[in-house]
Structure 1
Amino acid sequence: MKIIRSKDFTASRAWGALDIASMNGISTRLHWTNQPYKWHINDGEEVFVVLDGIVDMHYREAGTEQVSRLAAGDIFYAGIGCEHVAHPVGEARILVVETAGSV
């Protein structure tokens, strides 16, 4: 049994993470960041949930860059092959569910 207060979580570096669970090859991690990530394509599907803060999610659709602003409670689903990068606006706490070891 584990209770995690996401608003209390910080990391020593941007995108530092707290491993919450690993189930059947799927990892669930809580990330803290105040810096953008990098453009990437995951090894599988990804569920990205903003728990605290605001994140501008950049993604490419048919070769065109799009941006969606995500607030606390918003969920971004990246299907297989979806190129994307998250840009927090200030500090953000994000729950990420993806294939273990994914980028």
Structure 2
Amino acid sequence: MNCYGQSHNIFWGTPAWNDTRILYQHVNASSSFLQVTERDVAFPSAGYFNYRPITAIRAFDQKTNGNGAYATIKSGGINATSVIVRFKSQRGHGINFILEIYVK
């Protein structure tokens, strides 16, 4: 797990050259005055199946001024076939991330 600079980018695992990026998703949520906003993203989505192990999860914070949200793994993750990533904003700020998931 690595975090970089003022943005709250976080990477779990490392994709190999032959891994497949199976999910590329913008995760957005508006800010609410003095409120913390949360958004969960599940992979695979309800009604879909994934039988390939997850090798890497990358969450890129699009806010670079230090006011971005934070990403955590709620369940599943690396070497599992599913994951739920929770995005949690700072008080009074929204969520603006790009989420990538790679599988074998």
TM-score (norm 1): 0.40
Q: Which has the larger radius of gyration?
A: 2
